[in-house]
Structure 1
Amino acid sequence: MSESDPVPGGRPGEAERAAALSGELSGRDVHGVVLAYVDTAGITRVKTVPTARLASAAAWGVGMSPVFDTFLADDSIVATDVLGSPDGDLRLHPDLDRLTVLAAQPGWAWAPVDRITQEGGPHPACARTVLRRTVAHAAERYGVRFKAAFEIEWSVGRGDTDGDAFVPAVPGPAYGAARQVGFSDCAADLLAALAAQGVDVEQLHPEYAPGQFEVSVGALDPVAAADRSVLVRQTIRAVVRRHRLRASFAPAVSGRGVGNGGHLHLSAWRDGANLHAGGPGRYGMTAEAESFVAGVLEHLPALTAITAPSPASYLRLRPSQWAGVFTAWGRETREAALRIVTGSTGERGRAANLEVKPVDLAANPYLALAAVIAAGLDGLASSAPLPAETTGDPARLDPADAEARGIRRLPVSLAPAVAAFRSDDVLRTALGPVLADAVTAVRLGEIEAVDGLDDDGIAAAYRWKY
């Protein structure tokens, strides 16, 4: 157990702090606190407590079954040798440092949780704990810290349609002024809510697909970045609902066209210096940054089982749609799976980062970050060489040329991604056997759940799950 893990009864002063926060929240007419975590299938699960119970929750946690680690997106249950039974219980412990009053849900606050056992030990399938320990290992072993952020794309549908159909709520072309105007009131409310919650927004704009928008937020340490991704989606759902619309973060809302991504931006730092800038390598990368990128590149096929975890993810991961479906990297190359972002002259020390493109918002953000960091650290540990850069669209390369350059198509469906993950000892070790087996079981369960469905059927099955 690390000093950052929750403990029964709370750390010194924690219950008193929670009691003081409870009083502050009550004074702001906040009546309940949402305790949130993300399960293996990428679904945000919650319990709530009255504000007056926050101190008790901080000290002793709130009970929740471990069976949710093997829930599928449709709420059916699969099992591993240690997870998936009706037995046992866990304790949800809110992170008081991340407690946030929800501007778009009057009367409510929100906090992410860590999950521990009733005996006080860390739950081996708690993805937030796994990410925190991965980050700590990187700092202790390599002296490296990280900044991260997820792009958040979502589709806005009308709220008055029959059944679960998706009808774009706002017309207009990609990046078009007409769509921005049509969504103007809702977007303004969203920006106001995020600002009230302390979320620094860098961009909010119409995206490529019909009714699609994207919000980009500032980078934080990895655990806080994953927390922020969950919080921003909670906020978008609430704001959109108040405008009688529906928001979908599913990788695809239809069987054709461009889907919703959740691109991950990540930079490694040491002693306050960005390793992705100011170095002698390509585009200013240090040798360590190049090796980190090489590690991520090497593990990409297996990573897709984490970063693109839904059968619907592979409706999005198609060539020539800027989804990044080839094991290639390049500076500002949007068809490569790894995009090197340098930033403009004068801001590169702050802005340079690695963008991992085959990521969507069906992914558990804590799992995605832990796995990508573990892959990069594997490259860093071995001083892995970064291969030649790719420019243009890899789909247009002669197959023999692509093969010679080591450029491969990422898995075209979830099944080969799972097979790659099962054979990747680095990623399985990073997650630990309990969580790695849960990932495998849940992915195989999702595959079985959509067996026999065509693309439109798969899109419909997951359209409103995320």
Structure 2
Amino acid sequence: MTTLADPVPGGRPGDVERAVALSAELAERGVHGIVLAYVDTAGIGRVKTIPASRLASAAAWGVGMSPVFDTFLANDSIVSTDVLGSPDGDLRLYPDLDRLAVLAGQPGWAWAPVDRITQEGERHPGCSRTVLRRIVADAAERHGITFKAAIEVEWAVGRGTAQKADFVPACSGPAYSATRLVELSDYVAELMAAFAVQGVDVDQVHPEYAAGQFEISVGPLDPVAAADRSVLVRQTIRAVSLRHGLRVSFSPAVLAEGVGNGGHVHLSAWRDGVNLHSGGDRRYGMTAEAESFVGGLLAHLPALTAVTAPSPASYLRLKPSQWAGVFTAWGHETREAAVRVITGTAGQRDRAANLEVKPVDLAANPYLALGCLIAAGLDGLESSTALPEEITGDPALFTAARATAQGAFRLPTTLDRAVEEFRKDQLLRVVLGPVLADAVIAVRLGEIAAVAGLDDGLVAAAYRWKY
């Protein structure tokens, strides 16, 4: 479990002593530096690094970092809100010692996610990791509910020898083919070895649909740890890929045409160790609370896309009939539904039943995405939102009458439409707080302006190597 307490100046009880012991252990393992990692509003991973010998100091007093990165765009341009985006101020980055990992793909380095607090020791309102931790803690306190979550990671593997801006697939086999795996067998084997060393519980790795595309599915953790794991998985994939002369992209649309990279979220709610998505008397074994949770997700899904699909490139991926889940609909094992109810195999359903939310990609800040998804679901649970009829098949082929009857409406087709929906969604803006909600809007509008007038091919190229 991730520690739910906020960091404090001077360190929480036992943190400094633990960090001293960890520093000695890291030195014995040949670790010289520690990557302190967080994700900004645009979905870009930002880092500072410290010598391993400075871990105790970082645990006690943090490491300085400007708050301006909350309003950075993917191209490193800076936008602003009424409180963010200036050169003023400073924050402190505090490493989560529970999540520290030695990086198998980067010899000599360890990694830890951070929370950001102010110089006065208060929560930084723009820290998405802190916001997610608060949402999870509130759910446990108010509803007695905890969550398990996992984020799928899809990536395109390109040849490192290609021209700098271009993507040339590093393998040529068909989707899901043994041929493609054989072509990159040593690479995938080293990835799995690295994950095992780092304690990442891998369920499966396989070639995916798009050219040069692979996917890894990992085991569930509490939401904060699941978001941390998503960041760590991508750091590891990048490092191992470079060692094999490969270049990787997690962009939602590496190319303008075809299937893009998703970051589907798997989520389940639990109370007293019992899975609310199994053993109930509602559809497919869901409890009444689980059904209402799905209803809340669907109700807020148009606004959620501003968080889960936050890049102009995201909307090159969100196309009908490509299993991206672009309609406000749910279904049992239906891969065209935005929310897929997974019951699991007989004999494991009490443990395996969960929800898969599909209109999510890896341009999303995983802490923001999970926090907003949980908040939307809890809103449905609190208001006992009715769950509409499930869909089967592809909603893109429905008649207008059938789509209306089943509530299967198209999600926003552009980022600016998603921002409009987000502006109207009071729940999400309140959950994030005014500082972070305004940053989300400002950054999304900045990304829209950055690619104004570009055709789809140039939009894909603009973000190809950003994520």
TM-score between the two structures when normalised by the length of structure 2:
0.99
Per-residue deviation at 1:315? 0.4
1:335-383 C-alpha deviation (Å, 9 max, x unpaired): 1100001101000011000000000000000000000000000000001
Aligned to 1:275: 276
Q: Secondary structure at the match of 1:122?
A: coil
Amino acid at match of 1:71: F
- Contact kept, 8 Å, 2:37 with 2:113, in 1: the verdict is yes
Amino acid at match of 1:438: A
Per-residue deviation at 1:222? 0.2
Aligned to 1:315: 316
Aligned to 1:306: 307
Between the aligned partners of 2:96 and 2:141, the Cα distance in structure 1 is 23
Between the aligned partners of 2:300 and 2:98, the Cα distance in structure 1 is 33
Q: Secondary structure at the match of 2:350?
A: helix
Aligned to 1:423: 424
Map 1:196-345 → 2, pairs under 5 A? 196-345=197-346
Per-residue deviation at 1:400? 2.4
Between the aligned partners of 1:198 and 1:150, the Cα distance in structure 2 is 16
Between the aligned partners of 1:23 and 1:164, the Cα distance in structure 2 is 42
Per-residue deviation at 1:3? 6.8
Q: Secondary structure at the match of 2:363?
A: coil
Aligned to 1:130: 131
Aligned pairs, number: 465
Per-residue deviation at 1:405? 2.3
Aligned to 2:7: 6
Between the aligned partners of 1:402 and 1:26, the Cα distance in structure 2 is 61
Per-residue deviation at 1:164? 1.0
Per-residue deviation at 1:16? 1.3
| Runs of 5+ unmatched residues, structure 2 | none
Per-residue deviation at 1:407? 1.3
Q: Secondary structure at the match of 2:116?
A: strand
Residues 95, 358 of structure 1: CA spacing in aligned structure 2 closer, same or farther, 3 A cutoff?
Answer: same
Residues 49, 332 of structure 1: CA spacing in aligned structure 2 closer, same or farther, 3 A cutoff?
Answer: same
- Contact kept, 8 Å, 2:156 with 2:212, in 1: the verdict is yes
Between the aligned partners of 1:3 and 1:462, the Cα distance in structure 2 is 34
Q: Secondary structure at the match of 1:299?
A: helix
Between the aligned partners of 1:381 and 1:204, the Cα distance in structure 2 is 37
Between the aligned partners of 2:45 and 2:260, the Cα distance in structure 1 is 20
Aligned to 2:21: 20
Amino acid at match of 2:175: A
Between the aligned partners of 2:263 and 2:245, the Cα distance in structure 1 is 24
Per-residue deviation at 1:406? 1.6
Does residue 99 of structure 2 align to residue 95 of structure 1? Answer: no
Aligned to 1:182: 183
- Contact kept, 8 Å, 2:390 with 2:406, in 1: the verdict is no
1:207-248 C-alpha deviation (Å, 9 max, x unpaired): 000100000000000000000000000000000110000010
Q: Secondary structure at the match of 1:246?
A: strand
Structure 1 segments, 4+ long, off by >4 Å, are none
Q: Secondary structure at the match of 1:46?
A: strand
Between the aligned partners of 1:374 and 1:164, the Cα distance in structure 2 is 39
Between the aligned partners of 1:285 and 1:256, the Cα distance in structure 2 is 38
Aligned to 2:389: 388
1:380-421 C-alpha deviation (Å, 9 max, x unpaired): 000111000000000000012212322100000100000000
Amino acid at match of 1:42: G
1:147-195 C-alpha deviation (Å, 9 max, x unpaired): 0000000000000011210000011101001001011000000000000
- Contact kept, 8 Å, 2:132 with 2:368, in 1: the verdict is yes
Aligned to 1:443: 444
Aligned to 1:67: 68
Between the aligned partners of 1:414 and 1:204, the Cα distance in structure 2 is 31
Between the aligned partners of 1:117 and 1:54, the Cα distance in structure 2 is 19
Between the aligned partners of 1:324 and 1:157, the Cα distance in structure 2 is 26
Between the aligned partners of 2:287 and 2:11, the Cα distance in structure 1 is 42
Aligned to 2:356: 355
Between the aligned partners of 2:374 and 2:119, the Cα distance in structure 1 is 30
Q: Secondary structure at the match of 1:162?
A: coil
| Runs of 5+ unmatched residues, structure 1 | none
Amino acid at match of 2:213: Q
Between the aligned partners of 1:12 and 1:330, the Cα distance in structure 2 is 47
Between the aligned partners of 2:331 and 2:408, the Cα distance in structure 1 is 12
Q: Secondary structure at the match of 1:210?
A: coil
Map 1:156-195 → 2, pairs under 5 A? 156-195=157-196
Aligned to 2:36: 35
